[in-house]
């Protein structure tokens, strides 16, 4: 008879052990189906009733490293995203991610509504037919939910922007709203977003195509994915607009040093680790 196992989530709630969830995580980390199956089976044998989800993540990384040695350089993606500064790092990161998916993005825009002027995080346009007001929400703690209040405020702003366009106070024909968060949405927030047709891009939302999947599919990883990245170096990179490993690879070493004032040794190490991670 199979063991009935439960895991303990960060908020203290219990949830049935889900081997398919671990399988999906392994596959997102770039191992083959056969390897993922071996890792899942090993973790399933080692798991005990009440095992914390954080412990499972550590086990996944430990065993994935045996097949992908470059993983010794990185931390968990969810934690890495939380370590970005909300402004400008996370907003710059999201703008780059949207561009990877074919959007033209203008960040930090002042747009007049009917009643007041609004400072919005971004305007994202695609195919000249889709023009979105983008609201970006970042939390330092990965298990903090993005709540209903965010969506109520966003919808009120959207309606004022639409009315402002109709009265000629702005020239942006918004067709919709996108709320992007690095954490999960509360049930009320999710239900309201579905009712109002607000596009939500959050952790594990929509299911199977959440923020983590969109990042992994484009391999657009944040600089904070690098294990042991010095906080001062991170700030200098962010201040220079460098927030992804892809940028570190694409930019010339001398250019990075000029933009950030980092040492030659630090930049060389950043490039070496970034190339090792992204080349696999």
Query: What tens digit of pLDDT does each residue of 53-100 get?
Result: 889 988 988 898 888 777 777 888 899 999 999 999 999 999 999 999
- With a cut of 90, say whether residue 42 has pLDDT above it: yes
Q: pTM of the prediction?
A: 0.81
Q: Which of 185, 90, 211 is nearest to 140 (CA)?
A: 90
pLDDT (tens digit per residue) in 128-176 = 889 999 999 999 999 899 999 999 999 999 999 999 999 999 999 999 9
pLDDT of amino acid 277: 87
Any idea of the CA torsion for 28, 33, 35, 39, to the nearest 10 degrees? 70
Considering the chain, what percentage of its residues have pLDDT values greater than 90?
75
Assign domain 85-218 one CATH number from 3.30.1330.10, 3.30.70.100, 3.40.50.1100, 3.40.1350.10: 3.40.1350.10
Q: Which of 169, 183, 174, 182 is nearest to 155 (CA)?
A: 174
Predicted confidence band of residue 182 (pLDDT cuts 50, 70, 90): very high
- With a cut of 80, say whether residue 3 has pLDDT above it: no
State the Cα–Cα distance between residues 220 and 216, nearest whole angstrom.
Answer: 7
- With a cut of 70, say whether residue 1 has pLDDT above it: no
- With a cut of 60, say whether residue 185 has pLDDT above it: yes
CATH 3.40.1350.10 domain span(s) along the chain: 85-218
CATH 1.10.150 domain span(s) along the chain: 222-278
Q: Give the mean pLDDT of the chain.
A: 92
User: In this structure, which topology does domain 222-278 adopt according to CATH?
Assistant: DNA polymerase; domain 1 (1.10.150)
């Amino acid at each position: 008879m199979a063991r009935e196992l439960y895991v303990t989530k960060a908020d203290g709630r219990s949830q049935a052990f889900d081997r398919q969830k671990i399988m999906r995580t392994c596959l997102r980390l770039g191992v083959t189906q056969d390897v993922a199956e071996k890792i899942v089976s090993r973790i399933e044998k080692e798991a005990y009733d009440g095992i914390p989800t954080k412990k499972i993540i550590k086990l996944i990384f430990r065993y994935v490293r045996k097949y992908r040695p470059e993983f010794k350089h990185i931390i968990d993606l969810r934690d890495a995203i939380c370590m970005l500064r909300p402004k400008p790092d996370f907003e710059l990161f999201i703008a780059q991610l949207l561009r990877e998916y074919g959007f033209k993005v203008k960040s930090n825009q002042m747009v007049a509504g009917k009643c007041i002027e609004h400072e919005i995080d971004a305007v994202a346009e695609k195919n000249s037919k889709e023009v979105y007001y983008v609201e970006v929400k970042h939390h330092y703690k990965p298990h903090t939910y993005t709540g209903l209040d965010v969506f109520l405020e966003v919808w009120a702003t959207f309606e004022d922007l639409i009315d402002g366009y109709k009265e000629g106070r702005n020239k942006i024909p918004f067709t919709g709203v996108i709320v992007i968060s690095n954490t999960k949405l509360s049930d009320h927030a999710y239900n309201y977003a579905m009712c109002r047709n607000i596009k939500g891009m959050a952790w594990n939302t929509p299911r199977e195509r959440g923020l983590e999947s969109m990042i992994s599919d484009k391999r657009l990883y944040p600089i904070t994915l690098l294990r042991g990245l010095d906080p001062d170096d991170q700030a200098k990179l962010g201040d220079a607009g460098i927030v992804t490993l892809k940028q570190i690879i694409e930019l010339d070493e001398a250019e990075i040093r000029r933009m950030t004032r980092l040492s030659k040794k630090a930049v060389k190490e950043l490039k070496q680790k970034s190339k090792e991670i992204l080349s696999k």
